[in-house]
Amino acid sequence: MPFITTDDGTEIFYKDWGNPDGQPIIFSHGWPLSGDAWDVEMKLAADNGFRAIAHDRRGHGRSTQTWFGNDMDTYAADLDALVRALDLRDIILVGHSTGGGEVVRFAAKHGIGRVAKIATAGAVPPVMVKSETNPEGTPIEAFDGIRDGVLADRSQFFKELAEPFFGANRPGAKVSQGAKDQFWRLGMQAGFAAVYDCIKQFSETDFTEDLGKIDVPMFIAHGGDDQIVPIAAAAEKTVKLVKDGTLKVYEGAPHGIAGEYQQELDKDLLEFWKS
């Protein structure tokens, strides 16, 4: 299996599909998942002539279960190490949830001159946690509850979290049991320290300055019924902070990408990649 090794010895697993000479698309996954969460979109990209790459963030999936470095700056540096190891240029970045934060931080700190486009879905920027300057955010007590749930019984907590993640708690929801099981399976592959530490990173990291540095086209997708990353504190603010952003709201769609939402989003992503 392909890995790159970072300066601190962490092994980062990645998948590399499609045309090796095609324009690279890097997919960054959400918490607490792995690159496998993007398999459908990776196949879509590869089938259309792109080079599709997805890595497992440190501490997640098949990458090293790190005790240190589970922070957004290191995540972005790890992605930079992967980009440089593969000598990637003219990159399209795609990030979901926490992965949306990772690609934004990478683009602002490391991607100038290498990144061509960015697409995010249900992404955490600018900042999730509620404060005086971010009254639309989620109260810190909610994230403390996530920490408590992970510590008390991570397996059961992930099973319960899958319900609002995919909107399965809404009347008429059509999400499959398989999708919820996959969320649990990928989450349980992650290292415990990384799962716990990343909660602070996706909830409290402020990406406002990063967004201001992004001058490439950015497609910002968000479910109108996202119960995990509320749109008012996220996409609706992000589109105002970037220089060339387009916001599309998928009415009634949840945080997790599945079913009809996935089908519609994938059509839009392909159009954006080819534009």
Give, for all 275 residues of the chain, the pLDDT tens digit. 699 999 999 999 999 999 999 999 999 999 999 999 999 999 999 999 999 999 999 999 999 999 999 999 999 999 999 999 999 999 999 999 999 999 999 999 999 999 999 999 999 999 999 999 999 999 999 999 999 999 999 999 999 999 999 999 999 999 999 999 999 999 999 999 999 999 999 999 999 999 999 999 999 999 999 999 999 999 999 999 999 999 999 999 999 999 999 999 999 999 999 99
pLDDT of res. 225: 98
74, 205 Cβ separation under 8 angstroms: no
Ordered by where they begin, the domains of the chain are 3-274 (3.40.50.1820)
pLDDT of res. 182: 98
User: How far is the CA of 224 from the CAs of 163, 228, 238, 247, in angstroms?
Assistant: 16, 11, 15, 12
Instruction: Please give the structure tokens belonging to residue 260.
Output: 């009809």
Catalytic residue check, 29? no
Q: Is 202 exposed, middle or buried (0-12, 13-18, 19+ CB in 10 A)?
A: buried
**Stated pTM of the model:** 0.97
| CA 261 from centroid of its chain's CA atoms | 16
Catalytic residue check, 255? yes
Exactly one of 56, 78, 210, 226 is catalytic; name it.
226
Exactly one of 60, 97, 210, 222 is catalytic; name it.
97
Catalytic residue check, 60? no
pLDDT of res. 167: 98
d(CA 242, CA 259): 29
pLDDT of res. 40: 98
Exactly one of 55, 60, 96, 255 is catalytic; name it.
255
pLDDT of res. 1: 63
pLDDT of res. 32: 98
